[in-house]
Amino acid sequence: MNVLIVEDEKPINELIEMSLSQQGYVCDCAYDGNTAADLMQERNYDLVLLDIMLPGIDGYSLLEYVRTMDTPAIFITAKGSVEDRVKGLRMGADDYITKPFAIVELLARVETVLRRYNKGEQKYTVGDVTVDTVSRTVYKAGVPVELTLKEYELLLLFVRNRHIALFRETIFQRVWQSDYMGDTRTIDLHVRRLRKKLGWEQELKTVYKIGYRLEI
């Protein structure tokens, strides 16, 4: 998946690029609207991440150009008013994220938009573990691994966000679809089972006072 990141704040641009690259995306970075327009003329992208307030051509004008190529686009901007969000979405943005944002939320929204355009990953291979999201099957070294529904959803969350520390609150909300009440036993039990079934005692790390991170 080729992603163009158009963001004039260099630290934010680099953070997004690093996070997406860790997930296997191929990223180009532009720090102004004119450079972004040139890149879009030269290359085909699966997704464009757009700031609105840019030197040169602004994000709204770039979005009009992106839409002519039928390329999905997500606004990432500090303009967080309801009027700004409505304007961006009505102009054709596929999603709208306001700064500051959590990387895990950005990755989830990127995946959602790509799936909407049938561009999302259908199979993930991490080490000797393969997750097929179409058949909802998991293999380790070619051998099927039996997982419960929640174990499978937990695994998919870790695989899609590898090298990122996930808060227990985030894990509970994404997998169990309810508010986190502070009880860690459910999450910890499922993580222990996942470690045992996949042999990930070292790879699925506990992050002190935060939650868990998959490093593989």
Range with lowest mean pLDDT among 145-149, 152-156, 176-180: 176-180
Q: How many CB atoms lie within 10 A of CB 107?
A: 19
For residue 93, is pLDDT > 80? yes
Q: How far apart are CA 7 and CA 55, in angstroms?
A: 10
Q: Mean pLDDT over all residues of the chain?
A: 89
72 pLDDT band (50/70/90 cuts)? very high
* Paired strand residues for 103: none
Q: How far apart are CA 81 and CA 87, in angstroms?
A: 10
81 pLDDT band (50/70/90 cuts)? confident
* pLDDT-above-70 percentage for the chain: 97
Looking at residue 35, its pLDDT comes to: 95
Phi and psi of 85, rounded to 5°?
Answer: -65, -45
Four-CA torsion 113, 138, 170, 184, nearest 10 degrees: 170
- Considering the entire predicted model, what is its pTM? 0.63
Looking at residue 173, its pLDDT comes to: 82
| Segment 179-189 mean pLDDT | 81
Q: Which residues have a Cβ under 8 Å from the Cβ of 55 and sit 6 or more positions away? A: 8, 31, 32, 33, 34
Q: Which residues have a Cβ under 8 Å from the Cβ of 75 and sit 6 or more positions away? A: 50, 51, 52, 59, 63, 88, 93, 95, 96, 97
Spell out the domains of the chain, with CATH numbers in brackets: 2-116 (3.40.50.2300), 123-214 (1.10.10.10)
Looking at residue 176, its pLDDT comes to: 84
The residue ranking higher by pLDDT, 80 or 149, is 149
Could you write out the DSSP letters of every residue in 135-202?
TTEEEETTEE----HHHHHHHHHHHHTTTSPEEHHHHHHHHH-S---S--HHHHHHHHHHHHHHT-TT
| Segment 49-71 mean pLDDT | 89
